[in-house]
């Protein structure tokens, strides 16, 4: 069976119908506000939502058929590779490292997170340079994933060179993006997101920590 609208298409088996309904609802609800955020009227191409029921197929996609094994880690559950949203089935998702306690709510947020990557990719000026820090920051923020810390405790180099190997990388990226969203105008944020490689990460860490200190002090 196939569902299709202006923005995406999704193929599925009949026995997944109820589950797919929730996915479609969630994406339809979130797609407009997210596209508005990025000031996109129409995506350059309609994307597919591809659900993987076979883990090896998913690993093959991520590692480009085993050629880049370093690109896969057992906690990866979805990817916006090739302009599509590739995501594990809910069963496989719950079996992935760190996702044991996840439910449908987390799953839907992951789906929206990947959609943010698709939209962000549209506005990035140089598609060859895609530093993860602000990409993951804006994706976790707009997907409403509650990854927050009270202090960033790593070196700028870690977030620039070894982002995914850095402990709490998603929490740090979420907090940095939170700082930007709270202190910059929408136009300024979009300018930063168009050329995310141009930010001074060391300065951003410092500014975010100052921002978090003030927030923490206010809460006490
Ligand atoms: Zn992501």
For 54-84, the pLDDT digits (tens) are 999 999 999 999 999 999 999 999 999 888 9
This model's pTM is above 0.85: yes
CA dist 185 and 87 (Å) reads 33
The per-residue pLDDT for 10 is 96
Fold of 1-123: Glutaredoxin (3.40.30)
With 0-12 / 13-18 / 19 or more C-beta atoms within 10 angstroms meaning exposed / middle / buried, residue 80 is buried
The per-residue pLDDT for 130 is 84
CATH code 3.40.30 region(s) in the chain? 1-123
CA dist 60 and 207 (Å) reads 40
Residue 114 Cα to ligand 1 midpoint, Å, equals 6
Residue 187 Cα to ligand 1 midpoint, Å, equals 23
Partners of residue 11 on adjacent β-strands: 2
Residue 217 Cα to ligand 1 midpoint, Å, equals 30
Residue 139 Cα to ligand 1 midpoint, Å, equals 6
Residue 79 Cα to ligand 1 midpoint, Å, equals 7
Residue 113 Cα to ligand 1 midpoint, Å, equals 6
CA dist 113 and 87 (Å) reads 11
The per-residue pLDDT for 187 is 98
Low-confidence ranges of the chain (pLDDT < 70): none
* Cβ(154)–Cβ(172) below 8 Å: yes
Residue 117 Cα to ligand 1 midpoint, Å, equals 7
Residue 136 Cα to ligand 1 midpoint, Å, equals 5
């Amino acid at each position: 069976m196939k569902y299709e609208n202006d923005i995406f298409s999704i193929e599925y088996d009949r026995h997944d119908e109820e589950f797919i309904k929730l996915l479609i609802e969630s994406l339809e609800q979130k797609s407009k506000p997210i596209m508005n955020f990025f000031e996109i009227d129409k995506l350059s191409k309609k994307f597919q939502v591809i659900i993987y029921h076979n883990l090896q197929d998913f690993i093959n996609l991520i590692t480009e058929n085993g050629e880049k094994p370093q690109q896969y880690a057992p906690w990866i559950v979805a990817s916006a590779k090739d302009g599509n949203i590739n995501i594990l089935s809910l069963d496989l998702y719950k079996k992935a490292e760190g996702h044991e306690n996840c439910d449908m709510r987390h799953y839907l947020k992951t789906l929206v997170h990947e959609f943010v990557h698709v939209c962000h990719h549209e506005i990035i000026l140089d598609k060859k340079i895609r530093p993860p820090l602000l990409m993951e920051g804006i994706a976790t923020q707009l997907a409403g994933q509650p990854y927050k810390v009270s202090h960033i405790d790593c070196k700028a180099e870690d977030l620039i060179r070894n982002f995914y190997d850095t402990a709490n990388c998603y929490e740090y990226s979420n907090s940095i993006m939170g700082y930007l969203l709270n202190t910059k105008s929408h136009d300024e944020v979009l300018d930063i997101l168009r050329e995310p490689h141009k930010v001074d990460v060391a300065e951003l860490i410092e500014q975010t920590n100052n921002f978090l200190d003030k927030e923490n002090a206010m809460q006490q």
